[in-house]
A and B are shown apart, each in its own frame.
Chain A
């Protein structure tokens, strides 16, 4: 850490000295996600992309690097910061039953997922392994399978547990026939996330492995409930997602929203953690000129990082869903230009 030293000397040779220490932060990492966990290599070519988000379900037998994803190994070995979102959510309708498999010579049987999440009225509620199932140790085989595959990759990643706990819990959850409201679901998730992080940390991990828990960051009370100091002491990052979906949304206001709640509500352990924006995007319906909005992101991040509170260290553009770049080439050019700019460049 650099130090500036000030000395004051009088004519008699008597001196007084004061020091002030400071840090120079590395550039913010500009990142990307391509729809469907697609190969982003071509989209990122020629740009200052250094960070990537990926999504996997613990139910999947191929978490690391993922089915037909040799490119993820290439990116990781080239020094990309990989944010692996590992979810208890079951992605598909196929095979939601129990699983029996062998990991490093040890056989495991994991029961069928017993929880439903994202219970938005009028939609089909996704299944997920239940927080109670996790705490009962019934999902340990899933974690063992993930860890075994992770160890073969040869580089560390950030493991983000859950994509958005607020989205998962917004309409309550149900496990084994018992309904839990939003707040109860948050409390149960904190216990389960703590269990999972502790499970991984109790075993040898690739050096540099880091952890976070996921949130959309759109609900202040949920963000506070899901970031107690006891859990944050086991995590390395804060994380939230950022979208512009209203014509009035500015980059500064959107990236600031959850940070302001964090600074107001969270404890010193949480606030000592840097921030990963695992997803950010601007919806073309409200912002036909996505490139113009994207160009306002670098100064917004620079301003927020100059203010008190946790620093944003990675921002991964979500080229899917709300963030879909249209036209794609124009959007990618805007991302390249943004990531060539301070605080990224």
Chain B
């Protein structure tokens, strides 16, 4: 099992009160892979159901964002590799 990686960047270093703030995260883990499992049910007579498929993520990552000033960061988007959060200055 490999360790995850993450980097974080803000869209500015100084904000005026009330300004929108944008935080962009890039994260990943070599173990994190999507897999698709396809299931077919077959009875004793040999009748098979239509296949159904489900997806799962092996070794999923949990992202937490905290702010020591108590500011609330809200997730705007997340591709699984890049996540964008917003807060108000």
Q: Which residues of B contact A5 (CB under 8 A)?
A: 65-68
Tell me whether A16 is interfacial, beta carbon within 8 Å.
yes
Tell me whether A329 is interfacial, beta carbon within 8 Å.
no
Map CB proximity to A onto B62-79 as digits: 1 under 8 Å, 0 otherwise. Answer: 111111110101000000
Number of interface residues of A (CB under 8 A): 32
B1 in contact with A4 (CB, 8 Å): no
A311 to B18, CA, bound (A): 16
Tell me whether A22 is interfacial, beta carbon within 8 Å.
yes
A8 in contact with B15 (CB, 8 Å): no
Tell me whether A343 is interfacial, beta carbon within 8 Å.
yes
Residue of B with least CB distance to A305: B16
The contact of B29 among A3, A10, A343, by CB within 8 Å, is: A10
A337 to B62, CA, bound (A): 47
* B-contacting 9-mer, from A23-31, A35-43, A113-121, A148-156: A23-31
Tell me whether A203 is interfacial, beta carbon within 8 Å.
no
The contact of B60 among A10, A16, A21, A27, by CB within 8 Å, is: A10
Map CB proximity to A onto B1-29 as digits: 1 under 8 Å, 0 otherwise. Answer: 11111111110111111110101010101
Residue of A with least CB distance to B63: A8
A311 to B64, CA, bound (A): 32
Interface residues in chain A, defined as those with a beta carbon under 8 Å from any beta carbon in chain B: 2-12, 14-28, 302, 305-306, 311, 342-343
Besides A6-B6, A9-B4, A18-B25, 10 new A-B residue pairs in contact (Cβ under 8 A), listed by A number = A5-B66, A6-B65, A10-B29, A10-B62, A12-B59, A18-B7, A22-B10, A24-B69, A24-B89, A26-B17
